[in-house]
Amino acid sequence: MNRSKKVLLFLIFHLSFSFFLRSESGHQLWLRPVDAHSVTVELGGRPGATQRLAADVLSHSWQGDSKATIKLRLIKDRSLKPDGFRLHTGEIQATSETGLLYGAYEYIRRQRMGKRLDGFLSNPAYQHRILNHWDNLNGTIERGYAGHSIFWRREAQPTVTESDRALWREYAAANASIGINGTVLNNVNASPEMLSLAYLQKTKAIAEALRPFGVRVYLSINYASPMRLSGLKTADPLDPKVQAWWRDKIAEIYALIPDFGGFLVKANSEGQPGPMDYGRTHVEGANMLADAIKPFNGLIMWRAFVYDPAGGSDRATQAYDEFMPFDGKFRDNVIIQVKNGPVDFQPREPFSPLFGAMKQTSVMPEFQITQEYLGFSFQLVYLAPMWTECLQSDTYQMGVGSTVARCTDGQLYPQTHTAIAGVANIGLDDNWCGHPFAQANWYAFGRLAWDHALSGEVIAEEWIQQTFTAERSFVDPVKTMMMASREAAVNYMMPLGLHHLFAWGHHYGPEPWCNVAGARADWLPSYYHRASEEGIGFDRTVTGSNAVKQYQEPLRSRFASIESCPDELLLWFHHVPWQHRMQSGETLWNELCIRYDRGVQEVRSFQKVWDRMESFVDSDRFKEVQSRLRRQARDAQWWKDACLLYFQTYSNLPIPTYIERPVQDLEEMKQIKFDWTHHN
C-alpha cells in the first residue's frame, strides 16, 4: 500500500472515530465509566456502607483479568495511617473502611495507568485534606465561576430534594477518588444564619450524603453570631455569656452531626468581625472556640489572611507581623490557615514567610483552586506547577530541606493536626468547574494533598487519561500544554514579580492605571508596581519595606540582592531601573516586553495543539475548549497591550523590533470594561 493510501485510511479512521464519539458534558469528571471486566469482591469483617462503596468502585471499573477475585481486608498495621492502604494483586489492606475505599480508587487508577500493584503502600501526607467552598446561603458563590452553589439556593427556608442528595453523592465520590476528606460548606465571609437551626438541619442532610465517602463537613462562622442570632450585646471571647453561647451552639451541632469537623474562621479581616473588635487578640478569639469544641475533637482553622485596616505597612508583611508574636500560644486544636503567598493568590508570589517560622503552632497551607486571579473559568491554567513550586520551596527554617511541605505535614514540627485547604472551583455547571480543564485543578489539589511529592506532570497524565483518552498522540501534547500553561499566564499577565495589576472589583482584566477615589492604597495596582521614570517594582529590601527580613538565610540575602534575586521575583522584591541588565543579558524593559510577548505566543500555540486533537474528543468538549482558548488568546493580547503601553509611558523606551507589536492603543485599552455580572 502506498503512502498516500495509508494517510487516507488513517484520516478516514480518525474522522469516523471522532464522528461516533459520544457527546459528553464533562459531568462525570475523571470518573467516566469504562467497559468493566467481571470481578468478585470479598468483603472483610462486618462491612459497612463505606466498604460496600469500595466494592462498587472495583465492580464498576475493574480492568484486570475477567472473573478475578479481590479481597478487602481490615488489618492492624502500624505502618498504615487511618486513611492509608496497601495494595497487592487481588487484595487491598487498610486499617479502616475509608482506607479500603481510597485503596479501591487507587487500585483502579493504577490499573488504568499500567502501574505496579504488589506491595504498594500509601499514606496521606496531611490528616485533613479539605475543600473550602465560598458559597453564600442565597446560592451565589464568591469568586465562583461555574454557576451557583451545589449546597445552597435562594429560598425562604432551606430544603433538601432527592436530586440534591444524588448530586452530593456524586460530589463526594469525586472527592473520595482523590483522597479529599473534608469540605467547608459556606463562604469565609460567613452569614450568621449559617448557624441557625434551619441551616444546621440542611447541613446534617449534606453530612449524611457525604459520610459514607469519608468526607466530613465543616462550617465557616461569623464571629458576631452570638449577637446576630441571640441578641447578646457583645461577641467578646472573654465574656462568660458568649463562651456559654458557643458551648451550647457547638453541642447542638454535634447532636445533629456527630462527626462534624469544626469551624473555619475569617476574623478581623476585610471588615469581618473578630476578637480585636473587643480589644482581644487572635489567640484569645481562637482559643475560646477551641476550648468549646475540644470535647468533640473538633478543629478551629483560623485564617491568617489579615492586613492593617488603616493600610499602613507593606501588606505583604502584615500577616507575619500579626501572627508571629503568638507562636506557641494557640491551643493544639487550632490550626493557622495560611495562603501560599504573602499577598493574595497572585499568579506568582514567594511562599508566605509564616511557613516554617511558626514552629510551635500548627500551620496549614491554603491554595486557591478557583482561578480568581488566573482568568476565571475562561482560561486554561493548570495549577499543579504553582502549588508544587510553593510546597517544595525551601524555607531553611530547620536547615536545608525545610520545605513548605515538610514544615506543615508534621515531619519537622510536632503538630497535633496537619491539614491543607483548597478554595473550591465547583458549581452547578454541568461540568462542575466551568472550563473542562479547570477540573484538573480540583483533581491535582486532591492528589497533592495526599502526596505532595507527586509531580505536576504525573498528575496531569493521570487526569488526561481518565478524563479523555490514553492515546499517546493525545496525552503527550496535551500534557505539555498543561504544564506550560501557568508560566504562560504569568508571562502575559504579570511577569518578573509584578503583581496585583487587576482591574477594580473583579480581578479579571488588566488595569495598571486604576485609580479609584477613596480606595485603600493597597487595593490599587500602583501600590504594587510603583512605576516611575526611574524604574518599576516594589522595594522590599532594607531600603524599602524590608519584607526580606521575614525570610530565613540564605533566602534573606538572596532576595535582598538585585543581582542574586531570581528574575521571576525581581519586581516583587526590588524597584529596578528600566535599563538594569537582567540575567538573560537583556535590559529590564526589553525583558519585560519579551515575557509579555512570549505569553501571547504560548497561548496561541495552545490553540494549535488543541485543534489537532479534534479526532480524540467528543464534539461538545472539543468545541468548548476551543472557544475558551480563543478567548484566552484575545485576553493575553489585551494584557500585553495594556501593560506594555502603560508602562512605556514611564520607561519612554521603544518596544523591541523583534517582538510582535501591540495591536491596540492605550486609550482603547482604558475604555475596556469587563462586567462579570453579565458572565456569571
CA distance 406 to 397: 11
Residue pair 433/440 in contact (Cβ under 8 Å)? The answer is: no
At 193, which helix (H) or strand (E)? none
Report the alpha-carbon distance of residue 464 to residue 460 in Å, rounded.
6
Peptide bond into 353 cis (omega under 30): no
Catalytic residue among 106, 314, 344, 487: 344
Tell the residue number behind the cell numbers 479526532, with chain if given: 615
What is the rounded CA–CA span in Å between residue 246 and residue 226? 8
Phi-psi region at 311: left, alpha or beta (left = phi > 0; alpha = psi -120 to 50): left
Whether 270 is catalytic is yes
β strands within 172-241, DSSP E: 182-184, 216-221
Please pick, among 42, 65, 118, 270, the residue that the annotation labels catalytic: 270
The identity of residue 155, as a single letter, is E
Q: Convert 335-351 to b/e letters by CB count within 10 Å (16 or more is b).
A: bbbbbbbbbbbbbbbbb
User: Cα separation of 392 and 405, whole Å?
Assistant: 6
Q: Which of 83, 97, 135, 372 is catalytic?
A: 372
Question: Nearest Cα to 567, choosing from 550, 552, 588, 551?
Answer: 588
CB 316 within 8 A of CB 362: no
For 11-49, b/e burial (b = at least 16 CB within 10 A) is eeeeeeebeebeebebeebbbeeeeeeebebebbeebee
Distance separating alpha carbons of residues 466 and 31, to the nearest angstrom:
7
Is 344 assigned a catalytic role?
yes
DSSP code string of 180-191: --EEE-S-SS--
CB 98 within 8 Å of CB 418: no
Question: Which sign, positive or negative, has the C-alpha torsion 633, 634, 639, 643?
Answer: positive
Is 12 in a helix, a strand, or coil? helix
- Whose cell is 460548606? That residue is 185
Which SS3 state, helix, strand or coil, does residue 72 take?
strand
Who contacts 6 (Cβ-Cβ below 8 Å, separation ≥6)? Answer: none
> 3-state DSSP: the chain helix, strand, coil percent, rounded to 5?
45, 10, 45
- Identify the residue whose cell numbers are 472556640: 289
Residues that are catalytic: 270, 344, 372
